[in-house]
Amino acid sequence: MFHILDEPKLSTDLVNKPRRGRPKKSPSGAQDTREALLRAGMLILTESGFTRSGIEPILKSIGVPKGSFYHYFSSKEAFGLAVLERYRRYFEAKLDGFLLDEAFSPLERLQRFAKDAQDGIVRHEFKRGCLVGNLEQESSLLSELFREQLQATYQSWQARVAGCLLESQKQGEIDLQISVEQVSQAFWIGWEGAVHRARLIKSIQPLSLFMAFFIQAIQSKTY
């Protein structure tokens, strides 16, 4: 999920390499610790997925003992669900930042979001994708509650894109033969597939190709 989205700026160096100089500062306060765990979880799960990710690297990256983890989360699944909720809120804010920006036409807003995502995946050397897309790939191994939350996340994202497309339609930028809701769903199905292919071949070509195809398919021929 964007996605390939530029997650909060945490470095994998924190997980894989010891730091020189001053020892890293542990989070202070219950709320700070919980938030630090969620942010570290977003980083690890975005790169490695849920079923393959262990708790130890997450704890080590922020200097939190294992006993403290279970003070905040009753299980790995409870943690994963909390990370998903945190990522959903983060990404909703990111989408709103692009899709509600009236300085650009609605179609330009969607294209700017896609360009930002492309820049993000390049910046992170194709290691980081969309946490939601990663979880979707593991859906057969996840609980029903997890799958329900993934679907709810997609519904939220689709509603935002549908709103942007509806505005674009009213301005005559696009000419749709089906509903904006269906087109929005098609966007996310295609986008997530393009994200996975981009990571596979380490190139933004699948993302660029998908966006060119999508825009050409919906854009008004007289616009």
The number of C-alpha atoms within 13 Å of 155 and in the hemisphere containing its C-beta is 6
1 lies in some domain: no
In a domain, 5, yes or no: no
Mean pLDDT over all residues of the chain? Answer: 86
Instruction: Read off the CATH number of the domain in which 144 is found.
Output: 1.10.357.10
> 3-class SS at 11?
coil
Q: Taking 50 as the threshold, does the pLDDT of residue 18 lie above it?
A: no
pLDDT at 185 over 80: yes
Q: Which distant-in-sequence residues (6+ apart) come within 8 Å of 140 by Cβ? A: none
- 157: pLDDT strictly greater than 70: yes
Residue 2, in any domain of the structure:
no
- Residue 19 lies inside a defined structural domain of this protein: yes
Q: Which of 40-72 are b and which e, b meaning 16 or more Cβ less than 10 Å from the residue's Cβ?
A: bbbbbbbbebbeebebebbbebbebeeeebeeb
Determine the structural domain holding residue 207 and report its residue range.
13-218
Q: Does residue 4 sit within a domain?
A: no
Q: Which tokens is 54 given? A: 């262990």
- Condensed to tens digits (0 to 9), the pLDDT of residues 56-77 reads 888 988 888 888 888 899 999 9
Tell me the per-residue pLDDT of 33-43, one tens digit each, with 9 for 90 and over.
899 999 999 98
Q: Is residue 56 in a domain?
A: yes
Q: What is the reported pTM?
A: 0.81
Tokens of residue 109, six digits: 């807003």
Q: What is the pLDDT of residue 181?
A: 97
> Quick check: is 133 in a domain?
yes
The DSSP symbol for 126 reads T
Q: What distance lies between CA 56 and its chain's CA centroid?
A: 23
Q: Is residue 140 part of a domain?
A: yes
Overall domain count for the chain: 1
